[in-house]
């Protein structure tokens, strides 16, 4: 199953879904690719890449 970004219709990766759930809550229905997520959060895509690595290092089940 694949999901698409609610903003740009690009296919999103599992990491991107994980980011969205992490930042917007597990009940959140929209999906964002990294670029659109960064825009929403007013941060950089590089920052989100760092956060993915960080969440993964904490053993977060959304990023395994
Ligand atoms: Zn997008």
Output the average pLDDT for the chain: 96
14-24 average pLDDT score: 96
CA of 20 to the centre of ligand 1 (A): 11
CA of 4 to the centre of ligand 1 (A): 8
10 lies in which domain range?
3-63
CA of 64 to the centre of ligand 1 (A): 22
Stated as kind and residue range, the H or E segment containing 47 is helix 45-57
- pLDDT tier at 2, thresholds 50, 70, 90: confident
Counted domains in the chain: 1
| Angle formed by the axes of helices 34-41 and 14-24, nearest 10° | 20
Contact 33, 10 (CB under 8 A): yes
The confidence score (pLDDT) of residue 1 equals: 65
pTM: 0.91
Closest C-alpha among 1, 51, 61 to residue 31: 1
Tell me how far apart the alpha carbons of residues 38 and 58 are, in angstroms, rounded to a whole number. Answer: 21
Q: What percent of the chain has pLDDT over 90?
A: 95
CA of 7 to the centre of ligand 1 (A): 5
């Amino acid at each position: 199953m694949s999901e698409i970004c609610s903003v740009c219709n690009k296919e999103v990766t599992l990491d991107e879904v994980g980011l969205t759930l992490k930042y917007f809550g597990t009940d959140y229905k929209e999906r964002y690719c990294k670029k659109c997520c960064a825009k929403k959060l007013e941060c950089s895509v590089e920052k989100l890449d760092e956060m993915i690595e960080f969440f993964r290092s904490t053993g977060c089940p959304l990023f395994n």
